[in-house]
Structure 1
Amino acid sequence: MLIQEFDLPSDPRLLPRKGREELGKSARSARPLEDHAALGPGARDPIDTLERQALSRVPGLVGLRYARMAASPFAFYRGAAAIMADDLRELPDSGVQTQLCGDAHLSNVGFYASPERALVVDLNDFDETAPGPFEWDVKRMAASFEIAARARGFDDRERIAIVERVGRAYAAAMDTAARTPTLELFTARLDIDAVMADIGSELPEKVSERAEEAVTKTYRRDSRQAAEKLAVRDDDGVLRFRSDPPLLTPLRDLAERGGLSYEAAQARLFGVLEQYRASLAPERRRLLERYRMVDAAMKVVGVGSVGTRAWVVLLQGDAKRDVLVLQAKEAQRSVVEPPDRPSEYEHQGQRVVHGQRVMQTLSDILLGWTSGEGLDGITRDVYLRQFRDWKGSAEPERMEPSTMRLYAQYCGIVLARAHARGGDPATISGYLGGGKTFARALVGFATAYADRTEADHAALLAAIASGRLEAATL
């Protein structure tokens, strides 16, 4: 019997799992795991990066962004994804690519409703998603735990255990993903009920009760609650957004400032919604056809996003209580993408939606993208989703060391599963090995980067004090 010999395929995706694991091991030889503890010299001015970002943002909101970032080193870190991306670019990387979240920190792992109306745990912010070296996300996640643990006053031993838990959980989950059937990998999800059952016995009674209360509260965070909080009914019984500038500025106020009639402003926004519908699956478009737009407002959200154009759009169904609130958010180029090369995406809203759909097991049924002409006449890329759909997140400022260790474990698992869907788990797992060495390296990196973040936060405070930057006061 003649046995034909074949050369190895040029496309690594065509290799069997063992072959792809060997590719990861080869990458480890070129970039040893111990090297990930290193941090470059950091000879840069973080304020320069913030000022460059301010050029494309709403001028009247930039000061609010600075004020929010000035609150603490962790708040600064939340808004400093661009600064960290620049720092990571200065380091040699593993060469092992995946779809990155781009802003993977502990507050960007949270709860939301699946299409089947189950409360799931996953990454929930993809403004900066783009392809890149897998360890960039892991390092950003690890450093966020170090900074949060410092804010809680945890000692060195406690912080080391927390950061190591991120790395070990990530490596173990990636090893599992590499051996999981593909269909199962792409459909596996973390339900909050399963998580609570798993960790309930490990949490102190008071902490467990607090977690249960937080979950119960999350179930109430929906469009109806958002409308009750953000809107009132006018004399005709129509819901209209409240006016609370700069945090919430209704379309009618913005139109007046821009010299547009309210009708003309509505027409522009309606055009955006019509184009957005085209990006949805036919059955989702049919759902939206049951609603009519009644109002919109510009709403400040987050920390790092402050100053980008973010809208909430209020839609009404036939029943008085049948309301839907969408968020339309400006999508700028990802800070992860190399600034000296063209973006891989012609449309930045499409980039966000694509990354989210790849990395999440289950995404918002109304997630879509389009371009729209703003009230200033400039066309920008945007993406849209439900504003509140059982969305919630953990509260690290209230965590004890044992609780934060458990949370670090789940964040490592969530991030690994997302990376396994966005890249090749066998190659990443081959690179990481058992994970112990990588976890130790993460501790060194997270410690060094937390020191740098504290220095950057101090530089922001100094820039505000000197008048170089102006922070808003509310």
Structure 2
Amino acid sequence: MSAKDRDSFLDSRRTLKMARSPETYIRGTTKLFYEWLDRCSQFIPEGPAVWICGDCHLGNLGALADRDGEVAVQIRDFDQTVIGNPAHDLLRLGLSLASAARDSDLPGVTTARTLEALIAGYEAASLESEASTPHLHQPKDIRKLLKHSIHRRWRNLAMESFQTKHPLLPRNKRFWPLHRAERAAVLALCKERELREIVMGFEKLTANDRKVLDAAYWIKGCSSLGRLRCAVLVRDGKHGAVSLLDIKEAVPAAAPSAFEARMPRDYAERVVAGAKALSPNLGDRVVASKVMDKAVFVREIAPQDMKIEIDRLAGHEIQAIARYLGGVVGHAHGRQMDGQDWRSWTNELERERRKNLHAPSWLWSSVVELLSIHDKAYLEHCRQFALAHH
């Protein structure tokens, strides 16, 4: 398949994927979110300029292992990361939670209480310990996620990703052959010294000790479809351990950055800097590089890495998850501020929160408007897709 044919197919695949549900559509339309924000930013409180996720929805938080195998729930995707307004992450996550509440057929008052719980958890985040605030009141679904994550091993990751326990990338609808030039560039990248810094247990290995078992184009995600993305299996020649590397093209962020923010100009280096600031478990095992002059970032996918999957929830369950994730995001933001800046920022949010029984007025009104905009865009997207495939 030529590059042009591949891009055309992936664009069609992305269109289909985004038509599956309103929540999937929200995840795949970060640009639509920031187009609205560009028109309405004057209604959003301005927090201290820190690294933010930029695309902080439910699917972009989950369990992440550190280099010692310890697991914590942190932000797990940084394509849109910038130094910006922390309120943008709260708003993006609030929109995602509100959409999940509606998908669970929960009443509107539950959505209001969910947003209230999100802010309350964010304000209560402890800056001293990664685990203290988020882990004090772990919801049932989070406990199950972490318990499952801790016990996962390579065979679980392989079966989930490849449908086989063998260290092999099958050629199917998810894994395609790389073009010749792409494959040569990926293999050259895997010999670089920096990869030893991100692959768990490979720090002391030389290039000769690492063997690339296979590499393929990876059809994964939604917003990333159409960009260069590769899966690579690497074996430790001394001990036989196999690792899965994810090579992903970095692109310009749609999220607005703070005025005069100092960020790396290289897109991949920006992603790495954001990951290190917000999610140490992931930041310590991701590096920036190049593949055919394209900026890419490379990370090892650990068996313990799992995203949060939410199906249908009761009202009290989604409120508990909202409070918990508010604490996770609050800690990620707050660790970048000194105590005075954090207190000033959370005090501002607290003042806004007291004016309304259920949620800060700016958060509630913004989420309601964004839901309406995304609903209309989603239905139009589905209509256009149906017409095109009639």
Query: Residue in 1 aligned with 2:367?
Result: 446
How far apart are the structure 2 equivalents of 1:361 and 1:335?
A: 23
Query: Residue in 1 aligned with 2:320?
Result: 406
How far apart are the structure 1 equivalents of 2:221 and 2:339?
A: 31
Aligned partner (choices 265, 273, 277) of residue 194 of structure 2: 277
Question: How many angstroms does 1:387 deviate by?
Answer: 2.2
What residue identity is the alignment partner of 2:279? Answer: Q
Tell whether 2:243 aligns with 1:324: yes
How far apart are the structure 1 equivalents of 2:11 and 2:273?
A: 28
Query: Residue in 2 aligned with 1:58?
Result: 7
Aligned partner (choices 204, 224, 229) of residue 286 of structure 1: 204
Aligned partner (choices 131, 138, 147) of residue 99 of structure 2: 147
How far apart are the structure 2 equivalents of 1:430 and 1:101?
A: 21
Query: Residue in 2 aligned with 1:371?
Result: 290
Question: How many angstroms does 1:153 deviate by?
Answer: 0.6
Deviation readout 1:158-210 (Å, 9 max, x if unpaired)? 1111111111221232xx54xxxxxx4xxx22389x83xx446xx6xxxx4x7
Question: How many angstroms does 1:404 deviate by?
Answer: 0.9
Q: Cα 1:58–1:199, aligned 2, differ >3 Å: closer, same or farther?
A: same
Contact between 1:231 and 1:240, CA under 8 Å: does it hold in 2? no
What residue identity is the alignment partner of 2:15? Answer: Y
What residue identity is the alignment partner of 1:189? Answer: E
1:407-422 to structure 2, matched below 5 A, reads 407-422=321-336
Q: Cα 1:232–1:417, aligned 2, differ >3 Å: closer, same or farther?
A: closer
Q: Cα 1:413–1:292, aligned 2, differ >3 Å: closer, same or farther?
A: same
How far apart are the structure 1 equivalents of 2:287 and 2:59?
A: 23
**Which runs of 5 or more residues in structure 1 are unaligned?**
1-54, 178-183, 374-378
Contact between 2:167 and 2:242, CA under 8 Å: does it hold in 1? no
Q: CA RMSD, aligned part only?
A: 3.3
Deviation readout 1:221-261 (Å, 9 max, x if unpaired)? 4544334552769xxxx94321113x211xxx333xxxx4x
Contact between 1:170 and 1:416, CA under 8 Å: does it hold in 2? yes
Contact between 1:79 and 1:304, CA under 8 Å: does it hold in 2? yes
Aligned partner (choices 161, 166, 190) of residue 113 of structure 2: 161
* Identity within the alignment, %: 20
Query: Residue in 2 aligned with 1:383?
Result: 297
Question: How many angstroms does 1:334 deviate by?
Answer: 1.1
Contact between 1:142 and 1:167, CA under 8 Å: does it hold in 2? no
Contact between 1:111 and 1:122, CA under 8 Å: does it hold in 2? yes
Tell whether 2:175 aligns with 1:248: yes
Query: Residue in 2 aligned with 1:189?
Result: 130
How far apart are the structure 1 equivalents of 2:72 and 2:338?
A: 24
Question: How many angstroms does 1:126 deviate by?
Answer: 0.9
1:117-266 to structure 2, matched below 5 A, reads 117-173=69-125, 176-177=126-127, 184=128, 188-190=129-131, 195=135, 198-199=136-137, 208=140, 213-228=144-159, 230=162, 239-245=167-173, 247-249=174-176, 253-255=177-179, 260=180, 266=183
Question: How many angstroms does 1:389 deviate by?
Answer: 3.4
Q: TM-score, normalised by structure 1?
A: 0.70
Instruction: Report SS of the residue matched to 1:396.
Output: coil
Tell whether 2:59 aligns with 1:107: yes
Contact between 2:196 and 2:204, CA under 8 Å: does it hold in 1? no
How far apart are the structure 2 equivalents of 1:428 and 1:131?
A: 16
Q: Cα 1:320–1:418, aligned 2, differ >3 Å: closer, same or farther?
A: closer
Query: Residue in 2 aligned with 1:77?
Result: 26
Contact between 2:278 and 2:333, CA under 8 Å: does it hold in 1? yes
Contact between 1:224 and 1:321, CA under 8 Å: does it hold in 2? no
How far apart are the structure 2 equivalents of 1:280 and 1:312?
A: 18
Q: Cα 1:70–1:226, aligned 2, differ >3 Å: closer, same or farther?
A: same
Question: How many angstroms does 1:395 deviate by?
Answer: 2.6
How far apart are the structure 2 equivalents of 1:106 and 1:248?
A: 25
Worse-matched range after superposition: 161-170 or 458-467: 458-467
How far apart are the structure 1 equivalents of 2:19 and 2:83?
A: 30
Q: Cα 1:325–1:222, aligned 2, differ >3 Å: closer, same or farther?
A: farther
Instruction: Report SS of the residue matched to 2:124.
Output: helix
Contact between 2:46 and 2:87, CA under 8 Å: does it hold in 1? no
How far apart are the structure 1 equivalents of 2:301 and 2:210?
A: 15
How far apart are the structure 1 equivalents of 2:61 and 2:271?
A: 16
Q: Cα 1:415–1:134, aligned 2, differ >3 Å: closer, same or farther?
A: same
Instruction: Report SS of the residue matched to 2:83.
Output: strand
Contact between 1:170 and 1:412, CA under 8 Å: does it hold in 2? yes
What residue identity is the alignment partner of 1:302? Answer: G
Q: Cα 1:281–1:384, aligned 2, differ >3 Å: closer, same or farther?
A: closer
How far apart are the structure 1 equivalents of 2:230 and 2:158?
A: 14
Q: Cα 1:432–1:189, aligned 2, differ >3 Å: closer, same or farther?
A: closer
How far apart are the structure 2 equivalents of 1:455 and 1:242?
A: 39
Query: Residue in 2 aligned with 1:464?
Result: 385
Instruction: Report SS of the residue matched to 1:148.
Output: helix
Q: TM-score, normalised by structure 2?
A: 0.84
How far apart are the structure 2 equivalents of 1:294 and 1:170?
A: 43
Contact between 1:224 and 1:322, CA under 8 Å: does it hold in 2? no
Query: Residue in 2 aligned with 1:435?
Result: 350
How far apart are the structure 1 equivalents of 2:296 and 2:285?
A: 14
What residue identity is the alignment partner of 2:114? Answer: I
Larger Rg: 1
Instruction: Report SS of the residue matched to 2:234.
Output: strand
Contact between 1:226 and 1:325, CA under 8 Å: does it hold in 2? no
| Runs (4+) off by over 6 Å | none
Tell whether 2:306 aligns with 1:392: yes
Instruction: Report SS of the residue matched to 1:371.
Output: strand
Question: How many angstroms does 1:461 deviate by?
Answer: 1.0
Aligned length: 373
Question: How many angstroms does 1:342 deviate by?
Answer: 11
Q: Cα 1:357–1:288, aligned 2, differ >3 Å: closer, same or farther?
A: farther
